[in-house]
Amino acid sequence: MNDIKEKADYCLSCKNKPCMNGCPLCNDVTEFIKCVKEEKYDEAYKIATETSVLQSVCGRICPHMSQCEGKCVRGIKQVPVSIGDIEAFIGDKAIEESFSMKELPKVKENYNVAIVGGGPAGLTCAAFLERRGIHTTIFEKYNELGGILRHGIPEFRLPRETLDKCINKILNLGIDVEYGKELGKNIDLDYLKNNYDYVFLAIGANISWKMDIPGEELDGVFGGNELLERGNHPNYSGKTVIVSGGGNVAMDCARTVKRLGAKSVKVVYRRSEEQMPAERKEIEDAKKDGVEFNFQNNILKIYGKNKVNGVECIRTNLVKKEGDTRLSPVNIEGSNYNIEADYVIMAIGSTVEEDVINKTGLERNKKGYIQVNNYVTSDSKVFAGGDVIGEKSTVAWAAKNGRDVAEIIINKIGEGTNE
């Protein structure tokens, strides 16, 4: 408690609130920290819930240095305020002492919204609708809610007990959940449209991209997203694992595999360390866990007869190309070399399941995502947000999408139309 008080007192209570501008959800960081300074924790939680319902989660896993903390005035010459720690404290305190979320004005009763997907976007949308008097039902393909929070973020970064408590607090608002319901398999969009006033698709993206290189079909090549989601890990004991990619998923895969007993884990990334999209803290934590990094290296192929025996790499230079906003990697001719390995994990990005989108019958954009106009799809009763529309993939951005959709639905209901 004293530690949190010290962290709160370190905040300068800036009037222009740059930290708020850095947060995708526009959380009023300065105000809830001010309440923590005064030990008004209930009030701090109410301020935080004006814009968010995932304090215990976001406080732990958000990329704070590229969001709120990265904009902190303190961080210009010193270290920034520990906003994440303070936010997590508020969320945990609210769960522990059963604080109530801030009351929001009720718009209209007797409206029902179906939400497909129980990840951060779906949970946030449901919470804000329910608080405004609009009943929601979440349709979740697994037997537990959380989406990427449960199936993509490792336990060592987000304890499952904390996640469960945070989700239960949201469900206690009165949200219904139907588990084991997967869009396109045992429930379809027409059913939802016929039985609910509006539908929000928040199914996320869990299909890993491939590099389109020889050898990806070999036994021992895994998609990072699927590996984290399903947890079907092989026995890594005494093995060498290559992870391709430089984002947080790559870091989560590398750290998970190392903790599961791999002898050696090497991250191969074609750009420099400074260009890695992963949060700086995640990179440093991976290094502490013993993960090795091969920067400015590119994988050309995976070799082996039936299973992985290794990868052929090539070193890269970073050059400025016309029209590029950052330096681009270019292979250095003749710098090829091999790394013996037992497994390769592709963590270069992800997309949505093709079959699921096809079965919705909704229009798609050039990149294959569901086409939306202010979250509204080609069907005026159906909204979509998060990964399924190609939005930024951090938890806070997904939650913002969910909150935005809730506000749009509320406005439509306020207008007395569902057209």
Residue 317, pLDDT above cutoff 70: yes
For residues 346 and 358, state if they share a domain: no
For residues 166 and 202, state if they share a domain: yes
Task: Give the end of a domain, one of 319, 350, 381.
Answer: 350
Residue holding tokens 């522990």?
96
pLDDT tens for each residue of 223-257: 999 999 988 999 999 999 999 999 999 999 999 99
Does the model's pTM come out above 0.85?
Answer: yes
Mean pLDDT for all residues in the chain: 93
Task: Give the end of a domain, one of 350, 378, 396.
Answer: 350
Residue 351, pLDDT above cutoff 60: yes
What is the extent of the structural domain holding 283? 208-350
pLDDT (mean) for 266-295: 95
**What pLDDT was estimated at residue 366?**
84
**17, two tokens:** 């609130």
pLDDT tens for each residue of 32-49: 999 999 999 999 999 999
Percent of the chain with pLDDT over 90: 82
Sequence-distant (6+) residues with CB within 8 A of 243 are 224, 250, 253, 254, 257, 265, 266, 267, 268, 344, 345, 347
**What pLDDT was estimated at residue 416?**
55
CATH number at residue 304: 3.50.50.60
Confidence of residue 324 (pLDDT cuts 50, 70, 90): confident
In a domain, 106, yes or no: no
List the alpha helices (DSSP H) in 245-291.
248-259, 280-288
For residues 295 and 322, state if they share a domain: yes
pLDDT tens for each residue of 50-92: 999 999 999 999 999 989 999 999 999 999 999 999 999 999 9
Distance CA 163, CA 146 (A): 8
Confidence of residue 390 (pLDDT cuts 50, 70, 90): confident
In a domain, 102, yes or no: no
In a domain, 105, yes or no: no
